[in-house]
Each structure stands twice: as structure tokens, then as C-alpha cells.
Amino acid sequence: MRIAMISEHASPLAVLGEEDAGGQNTHVAELAAALVGEGHDVRVYTRRDSTTLPESVSTPGGYQVCHVPAGPARRVPKDELLPYMGEFGGWLEDRWRHGDWTPDVAHAHFWMSGLATVHAGRRTGVPTVLTYHALGTVKRRHQGGRDTSPPGRVGYERALGRAVDRVVVQCADEVAELVRMGVPRSRMALVPSGVNQDVFRPDGPVAPHDPARPRILTVGRMVERKGFLDVVRALPAVPDAECVVVGGPPAELLPADSFARRLSALAESCGVADRVELVGGVPREEMASWYRSADVLVAAPWYEPFGLTPLEGMACGVPVIGTDVGGIADTVVDGLTGDLVPPRDPRALGAAVRRLLADKVRRFAYATAALDRIRSRYSWKRCAEQLGAVYAAVATVARPARAVA
């Protein structure tokens, strides 16, 4: 099939770890490559956010990335991109109508991509599928007045849930949220993300570490909801261990990052500054070596639409302690492949980490069971096969293109 993937702010080619570049970028890159592996013809459409980007690029994954000239040719925070989605959708419509490549199905990632995709899909007859990746209702609940989403996000998300042909959800928690929003369950297909098991595997290079000192690793963008502050607050309850934080801007830019400064100040006031190391963002190719260097991976977000980092850690044979939220509640099986603790609870987190670091047998058992779970359930190939079936189902419901003036 010809498959269009629309990911307005998250390019599969972006460098990860910074504020708006993380799981969605990885997801789109891996999924596109896996779909090519299944024999599909895949194009990813993302915003042209630099004047140096060519209109289209072929990638080693075998898919093409098309840079859509919508909005300024520079990086713009994702929450400020809404005004350009009409232009984005119009560009897609024009290409799909008059160009030499019209998709059989268009899969949008994130609600703003959904708006552009539905605009183009309605006018060209191309069926549409949407993965939200994150929901405005959840963000508003946790961030309150600090939520920078454009007004109306929740309404748009609700309307999109009814406008697209299928909603791809990633975890049970998301199903429940969408049902509460009024999206019919019958429109949803539950297809969790995968993890690249050629890259994330137990054997391979290991980042430098002191074998005498237990290492707690935590990974993610430098944003408060990832729970890094809670990990630092938990550290006094775990004597001797070091805490390594991977993510955020590259190391040399960390001193200028306000959240990184806040994290360092908290470590100082908790008396653990000598045991906390901020590594900064590292390239995707180096991530596996960081996971392998850890005795335990802590994923402590307040909320998490899916959460690739626990899967990556599990695939590297590292036991995971995660918060019992979103996708983590599905991927980590409490007491079998890892431990689940309540979010925003440094006391519970500290107790769980202390117990696991003191118990080598349990760590080994968790890591073994986790690896088993990854191998049987979380490959991108499996994800691509399941999505291929979803695409085929919606593509058979062919519709005439709506006439436009």
C-alpha cells in the first residue's frame, strides 16, 4: 500500500532529547521503516523547519521524508503551530490531487497533524487514521495553568476522534480517556509501539561507569512531567547509588537550561549533588550503551501517553521501576518484569529502588522476564503488521473526494 504518515512537528530525522523531540520522532521513524519492511511504500510529511532542508529526502529506512513548507522555515514550539495547519493540509491536498503519488491511507501523528490530514483526506477521498500520542485532557489535568496547548485543543481532539476512519490507541489508559471524551470504542484499534531489538539488546558497548557504585538511570526530555525531580528527591533513601539523567540539550548547553539548573539546585538541597550526573541529550545510537550501564532504569513520569524508554531499558535487559501511569502500566508487569509505584511519590519510589538494588536475584528475574515480554510482544514488525491490517480495513471503505470550490 501507499502510506502517508503526517507528523507536523516531529521529524523522524530530528536529534532527540530536546523539549519537543522524543518518542513521537522515534515512533514515526521506526514505524515507517517497519512498514517498508512489510513491503509498503511510505512517505512521511513533516514541517520544513529550516531553510537548509530539501523538499524530500530518501532515508536508510527506505521511506521518504517530505518537508512541507507550512509556517516559518525555523523551529517553532509545537504548541504554536496550529495557525499553520490549514496551509499544511492545503499543501497535502494539492500534492495528493495533482502530484504523481496519492496515498491509499494517511496516518496522522498528534492532533495537529490530524487537522491537516483530515483537511486533505476529506478533499481527496484518502482514508485517515490518527494516533494522538498525547491528549489535551490529560495534559490539562496535570499541568493546569501551565499547559501551553492552544485553546480548543480538547474540542479538536474530540472532533477528530469522530472525523477520522480509525483511531490508533497505544494503551488501555488511553482507551478509557477517549471513551470518557465521547470517542466511540468501535473506532479504536489498540496497537502498542514496539522497540528496535537490533539496537536495544543486552549485549554491546556499555557507557563508562564505576562497577562499585550502583547506577540508577533515568531518561527523557528535560520537562517537569518526566519526574526527574521526584527521582532526585528519592535518592537520599538510596545510599551509595548514583543517579544518571540522560536527555535534554547537549551537555555543553545544559548550564543554560532552566530545568537542568532547577534539578541541580534540588540535588544540592537534598544533599545528593555528588551522586547526580546530568549527561544531557545523547544521540539515538548511543542510548543502548547508557541503558546497559545501569542497574535499574527509573521511569517516573506524572503521566505518559506510551513511554518508549521503559521498553528500551527492558530490551537491554535492565530492570525497570516505573510509575503506574499510561503506557507504563501496560508495558511493565508489576512484580514480574519490574515494579510499579504511584506517580509523584518520592517516598514510594525510594523504597522500591532501595529494595531492588539490594536484591540481585530479583533484578535478574525482572530483567529476564522483561526481555521475554519484549521479544514476544513489542517488535516494530508486529506493530507494522497490525497497522497494515487497520490500513487495509479503512482503505476498502473507498469514498469519493468531496468536491471543493
Binding residues for ligand UDP (CB under 6 A): 16-17, 22-24, 26, 219-221, 246-247, 281-282, 284, 287, 306-309, 312
| Shortest distance in whole angstroms from residue 403 CB to ligand UDP | 39
CB nearer to ligand UDP: give 118 or 138. 138
How far, in Å, CA of 405 to CA of 401, rounded? Answer: 12
Query: For residues 274 and 185, is the Cβ–Cβ distance under 8 A?
Result: no
CB nearer to ligand UDP: give 27 or 363. 27
How far, in Å, CA of 16 to CA of 238, rounded? Answer: 30
CB nearer to ligand UDP: give 22 or 192. 22
How far, in Å, CA of 109 to CA of 45, rounded? Answer: 10
| Shortest distance in whole angstroms from residue 117 CB to ligand UDP | 20
How many Å from the N-terminal Cα to the C-terminal Cα in the chain?
30
| Shortest distance in whole angstroms from residue 89 CB to ligand UDP | 24
Q: Helix or strand or coil: residue 278?
A: strand
How far, in Å, CA of 30 to CA of 287, rounded? Answer: 15
**Beta-sheet pairing, 276-280 with 338-341:** unpaired
| Shortest distance in whole angstroms from residue 15 CB to ligand UDP | 8
In terms of DSSP H, where are the helices of 38-110? 85-98
CB nearer to ligand UDP: give 126 or 279. 279
CB atoms within 10 A of CB 162: 11
| Shortest distance in whole angstroms from residue 220 CB to ligand UDP | 6
CB nearer to ligand UDP: give 187 or 284. 284
Which residue number has the CB closest to ligand UDP? 22
**Beta-sheet pairing, 64-68 with 56-58:** antiparallel
Query: For residues 263 and 274, is the Cβ–Cβ distance under 8 A?
Result: no
Q: List Cα–Cα distances, 47 to 32, 41, 156, in angstroms.
A: 17, 20, 20
| Shortest distance in whole angstroms from residue 93 CB to ligand UDP | 29
| Shortest distance in whole angstroms from residue 131 CB to ligand UDP | 12
Q: Name which of 90, 124, 84 is nearest 105 in CA terms.
A: 124
| Shortest distance in whole angstroms from residue 27 CB to ligand UDP | 8
Q: Which residues contact 77 (CB under 8 A, 6 or more apart)?
A: 19, 20, 148
CB nearer to ligand UDP: give 95 or 139. 139
CB nearer to ligand UDP: give 124 or 218. 218
Task: Name the strands in the sheet holding 2-6, side by side, starting at the edge strand that comes first in the sequence.
Answer: 56-58, 64-68, 41-47, 2-6, 105-109, 128-131, 166-169, 188-190
Strands (E), 222-355: 242-246, 276-280, 296-299, 320-323, 338-341
| Shortest distance in whole angstroms from residue 381 CB to ligand UDP | 17
